[in-house]
Amino acid sequence: MTDKNALIQPDRGQKATAIHLVDKKGFDAFVKGLSPVQRAAMAAQKFEGEGYSHAILPDGEDWFAVAGVANTESLSSWCMAKLAEVLPAGTYRRAGGEPGPALFGWVTGQYRFDRYLSKPSEEGPRVLLTQDVKAIDTVLAEAAAVALVRDLVNTPAEDMGPAQLEHEAQLIAKAHRAEFKVTSGDALERGFPMVHGVGRAAARSHAPRMIELHWGDEKHPKIAIVGKGVCFDSGGLDIKPSSGMLLMKKDMGGAAHALALAQLIMQQGLKVRLHLLIPAVENAISGNAFRPGDVLRSRAGITVEIGNTDAEGRLVLGDALTRAGEENPELVIDFATLTGAARVALGPDLPALMTRRDETADELLKAGEAADDRCWRLPLHDGYREYLKSDVADLNNSASNGFAGASVAGLFLDRFVPEGTDWAHFDTFAWRPTAKPGRPKGGEALGLRAAWGLLKARYG
């Protein structure tokens, strides 16, 4: 696999192939500066300055690349990412300017998930030079966090069950000398009854557990990061159809985001006291699976009637959010592949964002825009709380009318976050169904850089 740390290097004047970026308004002027041979070569490749298009032009015995972008004066994360996928292996620099935000897409565009390939690609790396040396470590750290999400989500459930998720979290904890704790077995049943209830039907090798990590000076502001770790979701006794089950290895995408964000926080040394929580389960089917109509008692003491066993993510998050609140954090952020309703409303690219405070929503939306990681706010509308009413318990885990499914799920979680706590909930897809430059098909970080932007602004 390509060494990601070698993909961006300081520009010390070493030999490199030039990349000229042009946009529509500058295209004619660029063409006038070319030789007849170069113009002929460009015409043969039908290059007209469109975004993500490129051409390779002769330059004596050498060559250079030209690529189209929307605006040469305001580059995005993705505008050079296609080049990182299609140009020959080698070293490159942008002619007449710096790559800026495009450094990120240059790295993520070279991501490959080749764990299961008998013959992984041996193609060499494309290295991009920059004089903005201070940006290199930050870009590589963010790209590594995205790659971590992709790797975890892309790994099949047999190899990424609760035990393997625990192992990945433990590796990150050891790397940053964080405190690490796992609750399982009888202690899980007593302390996190909804996590146990959802995960108890799984095979012993995929037994449920609560994973916790603490890091940072206790004098610093306390924050909690929570991630839904449903390593595979059959739907339980309310079983999914085969089409709905096919991608359920990605149902631990929230945990992957939480782990990646925790890694960034520790790696970059934010001045916070971090509490990471991952309820890790497999929602399986066996004789002891929890049933529709059962009533589970949560860690908070709130009783929950099970209207649908396929609405399990909110159950495990409920116990995790309760535990997070016991340490009185000033900010809680959770990530979850929680509802199909969010995808119906927003599609695969935009994570649904719900917050209690308008200011927090504004910060996250702006951070997402700045990092090319947009999210979209949905309401936590009090009028929909009645959809969670139960005749026999304090709450039902599933609204029977099918309305406002993403917001209703958010309102369920809201019951388990202490009143007054600043809280943000990302209902993310964690998957890219079709490839885009810098963003291959498969597991994807959606909302991660938005959350990281807020944390940097507050605690960096």
Instruction: Just list the catalytic residues.
Output: 240, 314
> Are the beta carbons of 261 and 225 closer than 8 angstroms?
yes
Q: Is 195 helix (H, G, I), strand (E, B) or coil?
A: helix
Q: How many CB atoms lie within 10 A of CB 1?
A: 12
The span from the CA of 415 to the CA of 417, in Å, is: 6
Cβ burial, residue 428 (10 Å; 0-12/13-18/19+): buried
178 strand-pairing partners = none
The 8-class DSSP code of residue 446 comes to S
The span from the CA of 449 to the CA of 451, in Å, is: 5
Angle at 199 between CA 261 and CA 328, to 5 degrees: 45
> Are the beta carbons of 107 and 140 closer than 8 angstroms?
yes
Please enumerate in sequence order all residues whose Cβ is within 8 A of that of 408, keeping only pairs 6 or more positions apart, or say none. Answer: 384, 387, 388, 399
The 8-class DSSP code of residue 252 comes to G
Query: In which order are the strands placed within the sheet that holds 126-130?
Result: 8-10, 126-130, 90-94, 17-22, 62-68, 54-59
The span from the CA of 92 to the CA of 18, in Å, is: 6
The span from the CA of 21 to the CA of 55, in Å, is: 11
